[in-house]
Structure 1
């Protein structure tokens, strides 16, 4: 094994990888060594600025719908809402559309099942590695395996349907389109990643793509609620830079203070 590949061993314990397999499978998050290098080589080009730029409109549309719901709820005399839940749901919808071009119903099903699976797995994190814990926690073991298989089945259907149709979603290329293109050799699928590996990477997109982002935005909103001076500064910048224009990647680049708040 080359020095470069050895360097890509992140020290992920087998007990942890086995415990999280229903959620991540053997995708990039759980891969090690040459397997990690192989997966990253296939996936990294998907997240080029050019590809992500093409998906901004989807993100903007979903965010506008969320804000419209908030306005409607406030106007109806019910100003209290679970902001974190709303943001997590919207982030899940965005990642479902940008990663796999899913319709709302399928996206909701997969999102709910992944969230349930995540809660069941993380609830017993302190027991990971305890000998025979899967036998002791048999109910949890069976439930997580069942959920993992249900999620795999839903994603497999999406992938196989896309392979057969070869139709781009509304004229756009989502991450699954790009991944399938990367996964073709001489016009045949499965030469680089197997179908099961494709499913695992789609799960990785879901978990890694929306949970961390949603929680970061939720915390940011909470901190802004505590510091109204920063609220005012950001509003002023948005009025000045965005004004009545549609939000796109070029406009976002001009929001220096907003970027600063999101990154610190």
Structure 2
């Protein structure tokens, strides 16, 4: 006998929903054809001499890209915490300052931000030499990291704020009824739930950072894209860009799949 709430009907509906429709089949066919075409192109134009000459440089550029994104993401995450709390604050000054920071760095292009920091602040050489900070602002790596940290901190602050506000108010009330201090309630009850909500947005931000990192090549940081530009300028071989695109795609897919695995593990206790 079927349960009164129609369990068999729900299972049938779920099975029907999981079947790909015509649009899904066409999309899968398109991407399969695109992947096959890309593989055929790479095999047809494969140049062992090119790989031997630039393969090690590509690995070096890949290391710079991964290091740049990892350092910027971690520091930006730390900076986003006080900004998020500022956005949640009832103090007008704190909330206004945090909102101004977030709106500026989310509302302007990253390329403009890195230009403002590298070229704009670089015009104050005498002042920075006076206070002993010119060593920082004359280095394109440090300027690129600073620009990315400020940019991602603004986005991560909004992710964290939204995740905290997304936790049901009853969780706070339940912790208070048990006599749990607010600080402990936040770190032991609210924050773990907020992090599960924020996992996907954080992964999306990390993916956007990987793709945005290519911009730092314009300030002479030889990351993956910077190495690719140099390789193309010396060979005029378009496959140098194709290989770079493949590497970026592999990085993004790795992050996406790790996020899916983490999400499944963190939510395995929930009823699906």
TM-score relative to the length of structure 2: 0.26
Computing the radius of gyration from Cα coordinates, the structure with the larger value is: 2
Higher RCO (Cα < 8 Å, 6 or more apart): 1
Relative to total residues, which structure has the larger helix share, 1 or 2? 2
